[in-house]
Amino acid sequence: QAHSALRHLYSNRIYPCYIDRIREVLERWGGLWIIENVPGAPLRDPVQLCGSAFGLRVRRHRLFESNLPLRGTSCDHKAQGHPIDVSGTGGPRRNSQPGDHGGSRNKPRTIAEARAAMGIDWMTRYELSQAIPPVYAMYLAEQIVEAAMDCVPVKERRAGQRGLFMEATT
20 shares its domain with 93: no
10 shares its domain with 69: yes
> 121-130 pLDDT, tens per residue?
999 999 999 9
pLDDT reported for residue 157: 46
pLDDT reported for residue 115: 96
- 17-25 long-range contacts (CB < 8 A, ≥24 apart) are 17/41, 17/42, 19/43, 23/65
41 and 65 in contact (C-beta within 8 Å)? no
pLDDT reported for residue 88: 79
Q: Which domain holds residue 1?
A: 1-74+133-170
Residues of the chain where predicted confidence (pLDDT) is lower than 50:
2-3, 5-8, 94, 96-103, 154-157, 161-163, 165, 168-170
65 shares its domain with 142: yes
- 135-142 long-range contacts (CB < 8 A, ≥24 apart) are 135/54, 135/56, 136/49, 136/54, 136/62, 139/49, 139/54, 139/73, 140/34, 140/49, 140/64, 140/70
